[in-house]
Structure 1
Amino acid sequence: MSSLSLKPAYEYPIPFLADLMTRSFEGYFVPIQITETALLTMLRRDGIDLTASRVLMKDDEPVGLAMIARRGWTCRLAAMGITSNARSSGMGTWTMEQLIAEAQARGEQDMLLEVIEQNTAGVKLYEKVGFTKIRRLVGYKLENPQVESDEELEEIDIRELARQVTYHGMKDLPWQLSGTTIMQHTPPSRAFRINDAYCLISNPEPTDVAISSVLVKTRSRGAGLSGVLLRALFAKFPGKIWHVSPIYPEEMGFIFEHVGMVREPLSQWQMTRTL
């Protein structure tokens, strides 16, 4: 019978963890290629704690990785993957039970995660260990929009946008959209505003640009300001492919649909478990 165990992720060098994470998501719904730089950025932005994160071991062989982010009394399973040779062996359930027990021992009160909705096996796993759905998260895409705008964008410090998101944003925003996460974005990402509408985008120099945050202050909602802001961005940076990752609450989808963005086929469930 196989021997299963977990080891602290901090015991392993960053290049090893990046390679293990890449291998753990091979053949997944969204295969990922994690470089050392990408992993370091993920650790910083998402508040991942390598002392609480775990390398999954099977017969003393590393076969997976569970990344745990922590803020206050809440933790988040930021990523969990198992290499193809160790899947379908019950390791996912066993690992989640251990991670939940460790979070309880640390005194945390809630555990969060996101899982691709179309990954029915993953959804069943998390429901099996006590997670419940909060809401559906969706993404969008728009290629080379032909837009003209006379609106003038004001570039602002990303920290200012983060403060506004913390004050005016939904109180249970997904982890990656929270003001605390936005605060960790740095150039070449850029933040802009028009009046009471704010937006954060990735480096606009490449062809593909991600929209990482959109916010309209409470007092100005319903006036179409988000559309004005996004169209001004499309005009300022023409010829781009604009991406919205599936981390936005479905109820925010109208923001992107109103400017012609097309919903992506993959969506996620935002899930929570009381500890």
Structure 2
Amino acid sequence: MHNTVISKAAAHFSSYQLAEILSHCFEGYLVPFTIDGKAFASRFAAEDMSLNDSRVWMQNDEPKALAIISRRGQSCRLAAFAIRPELRGRGFGRQFMQQLIDEAKARGDRNMWLEVIVGNDSGLALYERMGFVRQNTFVGFYATSPARFIATNELTEVDPLMVAKKMMADTHLRLPWLSGGETLFKLPGQAFSLQDAAYAMVVTAPYLRLRMLYVDPAARGKGLAKKLLMLLRERFPGIATAAAIPEQMSPLFLSCGYRQDPITQYEMLLKL
């Protein structure tokens, strides 16, 4: 019985403990990952982490795996899933995922989302076996240097909550969980407006990131998104995005002098 793996709700742990557990369980992962308690609390609170639905799996009183579940309405998202190297390849991933799916169904969720890094073949295979289906491909970009001197006084700083409300009111818009208005206005950063029609959200901690670009429907097709990207590149030299930009937006970023980051993710969905 001493080797039995048991699960506990993440609510039993502090943000600092969960950050340590997550970093510990990601040891040897495809992409190196560490996070501290302050960044953990900020990031996952913005993503609407549910401490009661997130799980820590323990063996011999040592944390061996962690799943972070975010929830909004009848949708949930596997925001992070990490298993210690000594448990990998032994069927625990499938066992833990089945538990998460069963619990999502029991609480009435209808959709379960996740992202997986391209190249994580074992993770992708697991999710596909569990019934997840690819929905989109996400990429990231970075600016190597300002394009040229451009006066950036056309950018007006605005309330991030106002921009988030605009995005959420656009019924034709479906953004990734990480780029949705519900997430962005809670993060530390600044929101900018161009001509009261195009908007951007720049997160300043723990890293400088462009997290959102939005143009009012009536103003689209007028080059405002491109101009906004150029202004941001000048205002914030070296600015980068998270790997959460839908691949179909690549031509826009590339045309503005941004380069694509090598990390790519699949967005996946399980209909419950």
Q: TM-score range by the shorter chain?
A: over 0.9
Q: What CA distance in whole angstroms lies between the structure 2 residues aligned with 1:221 and 1:6?
A: 49
Rate the CA distance shift 1:89–1:58 in 2: closer, same or farther, 3 A: farther
Instruction: Report the more deviating stretch, 110-119 or 27-36.
Output: 27-36
- What is the letter of the counterpart of residue 243 of structure 1? A
Instruction: Report the more deviating stretch, 148-157 or 112-121.
Output: 148-157
Q: 1:176 aligns with which of 172, 175, 178?
A: 178
Q: What CA distance in whole angstroms lies between the structure 2 residues aligned with 1:225 and 1:153?
A: 12
Q: CA shift at 1:254, angstroms? A: 2.4
**Residue matched to 2:240:** 243
Q: What CA distance in whole angstroms lies between the structure 2 residues aligned with 1:158 and 1:14?
A: 25
Q: Please say if residues 156 and 193 of structure 2, whose CA atoms lie closer than 8 Å, have aligned partners that are also in contact.
A: yes
Q: CA shift at 1:101, angstroms? A: 0.1
**Residue matched to 1:232:** 231
TM superposition score normalised by structure 2: 0.93
Instruction: Report the more deviating stretch, 14-23 or 2-11.
Output: 2-11
Q: What CA distance in whole angstroms lies between the structure 2 residues aligned with 1:242 and 1:147?
A: 15
Query: CA offsets, 1:153-199, max 9 Å, x none?
Result: 1110011111122133753311011111122123xx11111121110
Q: What CA distance in whole angstroms lies between the structure 1 residues aligned with 2:111 and 2:229?
A: 35
Size of the alignment, in residue pairs? Answer: 269
Aligned with 1:51: secondary structure? coil
TM superposition score normalised by structure 1: 0.92
Q: Please say if residues 147 and 234 of structure 1, whose CA atoms lie closer than 8 Å, have aligned partners that are also in contact.
A: no
**Residue matched to 2:216:** 217
Q: Confirm or deny that 1:155 pairs with 2:154.
A: no
Q: What CA distance in whole angstroms lies between the structure 1 residues aligned with 2:240 and 2:30?
A: 18
Q: What CA distance in whole angstroms lies between the structure 1 residues aligned with 2:51 and 2:266?
A: 25
Moved over 6 A (4+): none
Query: CA offsets, 1:70-105, max 9 Å, x none?
Result: 110001000000112221111111100000000011
Q: What CA distance in whole angstroms lies between the structure 2 residues aligned with 1:41 and 1:74?
A: 21
Q: Please say if residues 158 and 185 of structure 1, whose CA atoms lie closer than 8 Å, have aligned partners that are also in contact.
A: no
Q: Confirm or deny that 1:135 pairs with 2:166.
A: no
Aligned with 1:252: secondary structure? helix
- What is the letter of the counterpart of residue 93 of structure 1? R
**Residue matched to 1:203:** 204
**Residue matched to 2:251:** 254
Q: CA shift at 1:5, angstroms? A: 2.5
Q: CA shift at 1:3, angstroms? A: 2.4
RMSD: 1.9
Aligned with 1:27: secondary structure? coil
Q: What CA distance in whole angstroms lies between the structure 2 residues aligned with 1:174 and 1:214?
A: 12
Aligned with 1:241: secondary structure? coil
Query: CA offsets, 1:99-150, max 9 Å, x none?
Result: 0000011111110101112111111110110100101111111222232224
Aligned with 2:239: secondary structure? strand
Identity %: 35
Q: What CA distance in whole angstroms lies between the structure 2 residues aligned with 1:95 and 1:43?
A: 20
Name stretches of at least 5 consecutive residues in structure 2 with no aligned partner: none
Q: CA shift at 1:13, angstroms? A: 2.5
Q: Please say if residues 148 and 231 of structure 1, whose CA atoms lie closer than 8 Å, have aligned partners that are also in contact.
A: no
Q: CA shift at 1:234, angstroms? A: 2.3
Rate the CA distance shift 1:258–1:168 in 2: closer, same or farther, 3 A: farther
- What is the letter of the counterpart of residue 65 of structure 1? L
Name stretches of at least 5 consecutive residues in structure 1 with no aligned partner: none
**Residue matched to 2:70:** 69
Aligned with 1:154: secondary structure? strand
**Residue matched to 1:194:** 194
